[in-house]
Structure 1
């Protein structure tokens, strides 16, 4: 960045200091966001060489922070200290699991109101469903 600014100044094109600093700060990667925020909040009026020296010292600190994070990174992570989840009351006593609900459906002795057959309901009656489909029976069960 400074090389481009120097080439432009050699060609006789002067870049205002604030524009150069703004361009440098905008081109920084996201890891420098704290540095940029501090620079803008404190209204620092530095020259480009001073800004570059500040960025070099900030870069050393950013690399230190990343190294600490990399040391703690592991591939297999297990939570420690917490017991396995289960059904527990506040006192630590285990609660019995809920019993399974019985299967819902007609009992073998159930009589169909439509065909008087055993073991099924009217809504599952094959004769009723066939008559309903052919139009011999209305929805409420009254015959035509």
Structure 2
């Protein structure tokens, strides 16, 4: 997944790949399926993935999709807030910096 792409479309596509593997008689266990999806996410989702893994959250793939969409929405809300830092440089009176 590319940074900035919608997570919903990506996860749905990954779920389709997992279903295709199942049809080809190579099913992935639920935990491995979630790991594959989480590892395919860009770096901006690392905090969400870390929380998911640390709390050992037991969710289905559709529930994981909902959680990731919520995380994406929260990231968009927080990215609009910016901080401006102003630093006053010490200058000598004769104009030399």
Given the two structures, how large is their TM-score scaled by the length of structure 2? 0.68
Aligned Cα root-mean-square deviation (Å): 2.4
Does 1:29 find its partner at 2:35? no
Aligned residues: 80
Q: 2:81 aligns to what?
A: 68
Q: Which residue of 1 aligns with 2:91?
A: 85
For residues 97-108 of structure 1, what are the structure 2 equivalents within 5 Å? none
Cα 1:86–1:17 shift into 2, 3 Å: same
- Map 1:105-116 onto structure 2 (within 5 A): none
Q: CA deviation at 1:68?
A: 2.2
Give 1:38-77 correspondences, 5 Å limit: 38-69=51-82
- Structure 1's consecutive aligned runs of 4 or more residues displaced over 4 angstroms after TM superposition are none
User: Which residues of structure 2 form unaligned runs of 5+?
Assistant: 1-13
- Flag the structure with higher helix content: 2
